[in-house]
Amino acid sequence: MDHHPRRMRDTDHQLHRRSGGHGQHRVLDLDAEVFGDSLAAVLDLTGVPAARSVVDLGAGTGAGSRLLRDRYPDATVTCVDNDPQMLELLREQGFAVVEADLDDGFPALAGSLITADAVAEAPVDLVWASSSLHHVANPARLLSGARRALAPGGILVVVELAALPRFLSHPRAALLEQRCHAAAAAEGWNHHPNWTPVIEAAGFGVTRSEVTTIAPVTPAAGEYARQWFSRFSHLAALTGADRDAVEELLERFSDIELEPRASRTVWVATPE
């Protein structure tokens, strides 16, 4: 892996124009493409050698589900989400898909199956929730349900972005990026607590760690970085001067030195 900052290639700009208006699914796919190694590293931490039944809570476009399917080829990977667009993308990839609102707690898996022949049924060997728990209205209830669904020896893995991904390496640009992150935090982006006490209260023993990935500079990394800065440019909490600087940065983005980095916090929990 190339860890050195490099200029993006011209193709980045073309790629961005081609991809047009992006939805959330494009962002999730870019994250998987650019920082997929970090999720693989997360899975290494879990120490689960084999699994037959895996559930991905808030599966999105399937970044985690694909990884889980690759790692446990004999397992049924059941994807849970409440977004029809995500559910369709998951279904197209051949996953067992359950449409459920996680605000209501851990879903009755077989009962709400909308596709595929096989679906995981409790007991579940591995429950995976990546960048999804902070969306849920009642995490304690969901986690208690997950605890009940787990097989003896099963584990729960919760993953969150420790911070928004960083892309810029030049010190002045990196400071601008830091201020963008502060403005985003002021608007509640990626807001989540330390889940340790919540997971413990649901009946788990838990270890918390952090995984950092430095990704190579690829067209996808360039597109992903540009997406973040496009979003930052709309932040109300950004000062006028910083908004101008972000817009100026976006105009000459193909000349910007990148060093894509992402850190994820991982909670690996076992029932007590």
Ligand X SMILES: C[S@@+](CC[C@H](N)C(=O)[O-])C[C@H]1O[C@@H](n2cnc3c(N)ncnc32)[C@H](O)[C@@H]1O
* Residues contributing to the site for ligand X (CB under 6 A): 28, 58-60, 63-64, 81-83, 86, 101-103, 130-132, 135-136
Closer of 87 and 256 to ligand X (Cβ): 87
Contact by Cβ (8 Å): 123, 53 = yes
Contact by Cβ (8 Å): 206, 267 = yes
Residues sharing a CB contact under 8 Å with residue 18, sequence separation 6 or more, in sequence order: none
Closer of 27 and 116 to ligand X (Cβ): 27
CA distance 113 to 120: 10
Closer of 103 and 187 to ligand X (Cβ): 103
Shortest spacing between CB 157 and ligand X, in angstroms: 11
Shortest spacing between CB 60 and ligand X, in angstroms: 2
Shortest spacing between CB 119 and ligand X, in angstroms: 16
Shortest spacing between CB 134 and ligand X, in angstroms: 9
Coil, strand or helix at 175: helix
Q: Which residue has the tokens 């009946």?
A: 203
Shortest spacing between CB 55 and ligand X, in angstroms: 12
Q: Which residue is nearest to ligand X (CB)?
A: 60
Question: In sequence order, what DSSP letters do the residues of 212-232 get, joined into one string?
Answer: EEE----HHHHHHHHHHHHHH
Closer of 102 and 124 to ligand X (Cβ): 102
* Residue burial 161-184, b: 16+ Cβ < 10 Å; e: rest: bbbbbbbbbeeebeebbebbbebb
Closer of 130 and 265 to ligand X (Cβ): 130
